[in-house]
């Protein structure tokens, strides 16, 4: 993509009502419609969506393919795709506007800053779809399923909220499974190292992004983890 094309998309996104952006890493604030800073923390349903429904995040959403298809299937929920790459987000945001998917928004920011933009228990569900596996051990904390990111998810998920991981990478799958199993407040609900070997247990797993289709064409197996965050206080009550 040419630099000029990227700049055009960045400029157009400033006019999109379904896009929020964080431009400064050291200043955790959001810009909306290219105007002054706005605060949506704890108020996404009230101030953006204007209705009270469960919110699902897709992290490292790229073009937002999973976010968009989930939204088409589940109109009774709200969806927010999160990515740092603005040129990628443009595609998802443009599609959502063209299809009048008013229950979809996009947030351009680094994932480690999520707790600045969402309040405790504001998020019902998190999807991590085909993230960078960061295979080098020295970069394990950058994996979106690592303990580092689990701590961030705990700050925004509701108790008993769900975390999903879909990946084609065996190393990331095994790392994530071990990490989540070792976390005392993460309850594993389902783990499958080859989801298409049998009937799919959950209908939303048949959503295939551009990259998933490419991985399948290469003969790679698609893996899936489903877990639930159950804080210690919730465990004691049950």
Q: pLDDT by residue (tens digit) across 142-186?
A: 999 999 999 999 999 999 999 999 999 999 999 999 999 999 999
Enzyme catalytic residues: 132
Pick from 156, 26, 49, 43: which is nearest to 96 by CA?
49
Q: Residue for token digits 């995040």?
A: 57
**Inter-CA distances, 69 with 97, 102, 115, 135, Å:** 14, 13, 25, 29
The alpha carbon of 222 is separated from its chain's Cα centroid by a whole number of angstroms, namely 18
For residue 238, the model assigns a pLDDT of: 46
Domain 40-237 has CATH 3.30.2290.10: no
Residue 217 tokens, joined: 């064409």
Map out the domains of the chain as residue ranges.
40-237
Q: pLDDT by residue (tens digit) across 29-70?
A: 899 998 778 999 999 999 999 999 999 999 999 999 999 999
Pick from 39, 129, 113, 127: which is nearest to 77 by CA?
127
pTM over 0.85: yes
More confident residue, 131 or 1: 131
């Amino acid at each position: 993509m040419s630099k000029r094309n990227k700049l055009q998309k960045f400029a157009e996104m400033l006019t999109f009502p379904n896009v929020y952006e964080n431009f400064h890493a050291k200043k955790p604030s959001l810009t909306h419609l290219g105007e002054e800073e706005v605060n949506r923390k704890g108020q996404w349903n009230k101030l953006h969506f204007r209705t009270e429904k469960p919110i699902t995040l897709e992290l490292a959403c790229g073009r937002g393919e999973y976010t968009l298809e989930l939204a088409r299937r589940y109109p009774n929920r709200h969806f927010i795709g999160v990515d740092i790459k603005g040129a990628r987000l443009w595609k998802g945001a443009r599609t959502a506007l063209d299809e009048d998917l008013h229950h979809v928004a996009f947030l351009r920011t680094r994932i480690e800053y999520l707790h600045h933009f969402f309040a405790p228990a504001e998020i019902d569900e998190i999807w991590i779809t085909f993230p960078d596996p960061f295979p080098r051990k020295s970069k394990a904390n950058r994996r979106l399923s690592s303990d580092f990111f689990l701590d961030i998810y705990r700050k925004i998920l509701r108790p008993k909220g769900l975390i999903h991981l879909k990946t084609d990478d065996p190393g990331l799958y095994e790392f994530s499974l071990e990490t989540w199993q070792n976390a005392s407040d993460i309850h594993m609900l389902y783990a499958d190292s080859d989801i298409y070997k049998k009937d799919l247990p959950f209908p939303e797993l048949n959503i295939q992004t551009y990259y998933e289709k490419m991985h399948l064409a290469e003969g790679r197996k698609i893996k899936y983890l489903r877990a639930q965050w159950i804080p210690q206080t919730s465990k004691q009550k049950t």
